[in-house]
Amino acid sequence: MDKWQQLSHILTYGFFMVAKPSPAALRKVGLGVRLLGASVLAGGLVAGLCGPLVGVLGLSAKSAAEDFNKLPDDLVAPVLAQASTVYDASGGVIASVYSRDRTVVQLNQIAPIMRSALIDIEDHRFYQHGAVDLEGTLRALTTNAGSGAVSQGGSTLTQQYVKNIFVEEAGDDQARVLEAQRQTAGRKIKELRYAIKLEENLSKDQILADYLNITYFGEQAYGVEAAAERYFSVHADQLTTPQAALLAGLVQSPSAYDPIASPGLALQRRNRVLAAMAGYGTIPRAQAAAYQASGLGLKASAPQEGCITAHQGEAFFCDYIEHVIVQDPQFGPTVAAREALWNRGGLQIHTTLDPKSEEAANASVTQHVYPTDRAATAITMIQPGTGMVLAMAQSRPYGSGPSQTDLNYNTDRLMGGGSGFPTGSTFKAVTAAAALEAGIPMSYTVNAPYQADYPRMTDCTGAVHPQTPGDQNDSPDLQGSFNMKTAMAMSVNTYFVPLEAKAGLCNVVHMAQKLGLGYQAALDPGHPDQLYPLQQVQSLTLGVNSYTPMQIADVYATFAADGLYCKPMVITSVNDSAGRTLSVPKSQCGQVMSPTTAESVNTLLASVVADGGTASSIGDIGWQDAGKTGTTNNSRQVWFTGYTKQIAASTVVSDTAAPLGSLDGVTLGPTYFPAAFGYSMAGPIWAQAMTGAMSGLPQTALDETPFTDPSASPSPSASPSSGSATTGTTGYRKPGHSPHGSRPRRPRTTA
């Protein structure tokens, strides 16, 4: 059957079965017949209108109708792609991410004048006809027959809505989008079939609302809500008459009438819509004339999409949220499904990011280290007892331009995108915890020389590491008799290596594993207990393994939480576009050491920031704190990790050029450093960030307020609530220290 004859027969059936034309409409198009009996004559009459092109091939309207009815009508409107929004812990927006900027709204959230403007210019009899408008379609058929092609649409809003569904289903596949937009007879027939079904199942108001939510208005704005915000910075229910007229005019050709790119054409199109509104009596003609004399009145806002639009530190946190969702099977069966959910799912993602802590962290890193500096710094803050990540900041802005980076120095080890940084002596706290758990007291004394051999040790695989030279302290005058506390305060390498041997290398490895710094993986069938990514070497306690600030902050948060380790947590809840609550990763906490051990570690690490400790010059931040410095071989990285009862934070400064160079003799921000040390480079960054983040929080001793139920934790800005668990018996209280406490000598911690 010729395509035009097929179209004429099928549309004839559609006209009289679903279009419901009135006798007046029939007279208007020259069909002076009564409605009764019109279906018998309609096939020939419609074909006659298109005579030269289609003719009549003896096929009855009945057979055409039967063929038409065989077309599938099970059109299911797709879930519209919507922007996902990431929120901080206070409900502030961090960023919106989308492949299509759209916010679905109900009809009562769209200004009535917007609905009227669209109907007047696109389908003014929308509420009177069925799926097909007889008058409009016959006019289009006549024009198309004369041109020999489909040059005029005549589609109702319902048919246009069906076309937009096809476009929406095509997603970002441009070839499929173009196919869905092609003006062909076959496509028109398919549109009609689906339109008929939609009119049977949906009310006119629902079709209108769906149309206004699905259609494209240009400038990356899908749906009327996004369009109202894009061009006028208002919500859809706030649109005025001239604003509504402009948006309604865009539907026909968003690119041709783009008011930003082509304001002249957009003005002409808007005025045409206003004239139509006046012609149909929606607005008075005088009012239309006044509006036509006015300008476009744009208050455009540029599209803001993706994590790159967030504030500097928040951009990296947003990027981490994306990685969590894309990599976690809880959010979908495949990576592609999870990426689609992130970009198109209209998610409302509520996170743990505390605005006050984030602001303090970001201010500190950017004031101490400039983006153009060769080195960079990063800091992560975590709430003890919950694992909630409160802040994440680094000195280089998020991006791919000069002095920017898309590498998240705080987390990329966890995401598989980097190797983290060697931790230096910050790892000694792990060795101390393992030793204390093994029953070795803080009073354990070692006569520590300046240089010594690494003792013989056996790792978790049973491999024996023989005695070998190489252990030494930072300074030749750092030697003598030390117990665990004095050795921690002065960061004595030749004390902690023998302590590691006494505690057992494998025990230290297992403590690190329990603190989130390693995992078991049977990569080698012959060694099922092999631990990765830990290097099980004698210098383990000196920090030769590489980790991120998030991991190290989480380790120290465990000490503050009386030995309760909680895996880092960044998402508190996720709702989809329908308001359904999705399953999210739960807080994973477990007691990994006794409270007595944790409090003993607190005592050890408090000595580091007290008078005479390696970090005493950091000064008093105003709350009882503890922490540890770290400097790696050749001074490529320096660390300071410290904590209060409410917040644990880890700061690293590292060279970033390849190959990595020493930080000795570099300028960071406004300060020149002749030599690089954790207390002098990383310490002040930590102190400023912590002072700001802790502002307003109560004074709580590190041996008070043990944690019980992480799921019942307060907001990140609040102090964790008291629990019923008992504390250890060490009776720890951190000694006071002066704001700028001095020390006679400061040893340099290596490896």
Three-state DSSP string of 701-743: CCCCCCCCCHHHCCCCCCCCCCCCCCCCCCCCCCCCCCCCCCC
User: CB within 8 A of 270, min separation 6: which ones?
Assistant: 242, 245, 246, 249, 296
pLDDT at 556: 98
Nearest to 641 by CA among 337, 407, 427, 373: 427
Alpha carbons 126 and 208: distance in angstroms, whole number:
9
Same domain as 536, residue 491:
yes
pLDDT at 29: 42
CB-hemisphere CA count at 13 Å for 491? 33
Same domain as 530, residue 448:
yes
Alpha carbons 282 and 115: distance in angstroms, whole number:
11
- 388 falls within a domain: no
User: CB within 8 A of 200, min separation 6: which ones?
Assistant: none
The H or E element that residue 651 is part of is strand 648-655
Is residue 749 over pLDDT 60? no
pLDDT per position as a tens digit, 629-681: 999 988 899 999 999 999 999 999 998 887 888 999 999 999 999 999 999 99
pLDDT per position as a tens digit, 510-521: 999 999 997 644
The burial class, CB within 10 Å (0-12 / 13-18 / 19+), for 494 is: buried
Same domain as 270, residue 130:
yes
pLDDT at 165: 86
Same domain as 176, residue 58:
no
pLDDT-based confidence at residue 80 (cuts at 50, 70, 90): confident
User: CB within 8 A of 748, min separation 6: which ones?
Assistant: 474, 475, 631, 675, 677
Give percent above pLDDT 70 in the chain: 75
Alpha carbons 690 and 498: distance in angstroms, whole number:
34
> CB of 640 within 8 A of CB of 628?
yes
Q: Report the greatest alpha carbon distance in the chain.
A: 115
Is residue 70 over pLDDT 90? no
The tokens for 190 are 């398919």
Is residue 182 over pLDDT 50? yes
Is residue 366 over pLDDT 50? yes
Q: What CATH number is associated with residue 215?
A: 1.10.3810.10
State which of 544, 567, 591 marks the end of a domain.
Answer: 544
Q: What CATH number is associated with residue 492?
A: 3.40.710.10
Is residue 185 over pLDDT 70? no
- 349 falls within a domain: no
Task: Give me Rg for the CA atoms of the chain.
Answer: 35
**Could you tell me the CA-to-CA distances from 749 to 187, 282, 636 in Å, in that order?**
74, 80, 12
pLDDT-based confidence at residue 600 (cuts at 50, 70, 90): very high
- 638 falls within a domain: no
Same domain as 259, residue 167:
yes
- 569 falls within a domain: no
pLDDT at 518: 78
pLDDT per position as a tens digit, 435-455: 999 999 999 999 999 999 999
Quick one: angle between helices 505-514 and 493-503, nearest 10? 90
**Which residue segment(s) compose the domain that 443 sits in?**
424-544
The H or E element that residue 433 is part of is helix 428-437
> CB of 313 within 8 A of CB of 361?
yes
**Could you tell me the CA-to-CA distances from 498 to 199, 294, 442, 445, 448 in Å, in that order?**
82, 84, 14, 10, 9
The whole-number average pLDDT for the span 527-533 is 52
Same domain as 128, residue 211:
yes
pLDDT-based confidence at residue 466 (cuts at 50, 70, 90): very high
Q: What own/partner pairs with CB < 8 Å and gap ≥ 24 does 258-267 have? A: 258/218, 258/219, 259/231, 259/296, 259/298, 259/300, 260/219, 260/231, 260/298, 260/300, 263/296, 263/298, 266/296, 267/295, 267/296
pLDDT at 309: 84
pLDDT at 164: 86
State which of 52, 70, 88 marks the end of a domain.
Answer: 70
Same domain as 215, residue 113:
yes
State which of 245, 264, 292 marks the end of a domain.
Answer: 292
pLDDT per position as a tens digit, 380-435: 999 999 999 999 999 999 887 888 888 899 987 554 445 689 999 999 999 999 99
The whole-number average pLDDT for the span 568-597 is 92
Is residue 460 over pLDDT 60? yes
Alpha carbons 730 and 402: distance in angstroms, whole number:
52
- 262 falls within a domain: yes
Coil, strand or helix: which one is 654? strand
The whole-number average pLDDT for the span 175-187 is 67
Q: Which one is predicted more confidently, 170 or 494? A: 494
Same domain as 244, residue 135:
yes
Coil, strand or helix: which one is 362? helix
pLDDT at 557: 98
Q: Which one is predicted more confidently, 436 or 160? A: 436
Write down the residue that tokens 């631990």 correspond to. Answer: 531
Same domain as 206, residue 118:
yes
pLDDT at 232: 97
The neighbouring-strand residues paired with 638 are 631, 653
pLDDT-based confidence at residue 532 (cuts at 50, 70, 90): low
Same domain as 268, residue 148:
yes
Q: Considering its fold, how many domains does the chain have in total?
A: 3
The neighbouring-strand residues paired with 448 are 480
Query: Sign of the CA dihedral 366, 370, 372, 374?
Result: negative
pLDDT-based confidence at residue 485 (cuts at 50, 70, 90): very high
Is residue 237 over pLDDT 60? yes
- 733 falls within a domain: no
Alpha carbons 447 and 428: distance in angstroms, whole number:
18
Alpha carbons 479 and 475: distance in angstroms, whole number:
9
- 193 falls within a domain: yes
pLDDT at 251: 94
Q: Which one is predicted more confidently, 131 or 43? A: 131
Alpha carbons 612 and 278: distance in angstroms, whole number:
85
Same domain as 538, residue 428:
yes
- 535 falls within a domain: yes
Same domain as 274, residue 139:
yes
Whats the size of the chain, residue-wise?
751
Coil, strand or helix: which one is 402? coil
Strands 468-472 and 84-87: unpaired
Nearest to 622 by CA among 702, 718, 695: 695
Average pLDDT, the chain: 81
pLDDT per position as a tens digit, 576-589: 988 899 999 888 99
The tokens for 165 are 């569904």
Is residue 42 over pLDDT 50? no
Nearest to 412 by CA among 587, 546, 532, 554: 546
Is residue 721 over pLDDT 70? no
Nearest to 208 by CA among 115, 297, 144: 115
Alpha carbons 688 and 681: distance in angstroms, whole number:
12
Nearest to 294 by CA among 267, 260, 264, 269: 267
Alpha carbons 179 and 463: distance in angstroms, whole number:
65
pLDDT-based confidence at residue 507 (cuts at 50, 70, 90): very high
Alpha carbons 749 and 312: distance in angstroms, whole number:
32
User: Among the listed ranges 87-101, 689-703, 715-729, which one has the minimum average pLDDT value?
Assistant: 715-729
Q: Which residues in 223-282 belong to E strands, given as ranges? A: none
Alpha carbons 455 and 315: distance in angstroms, whole number:
46
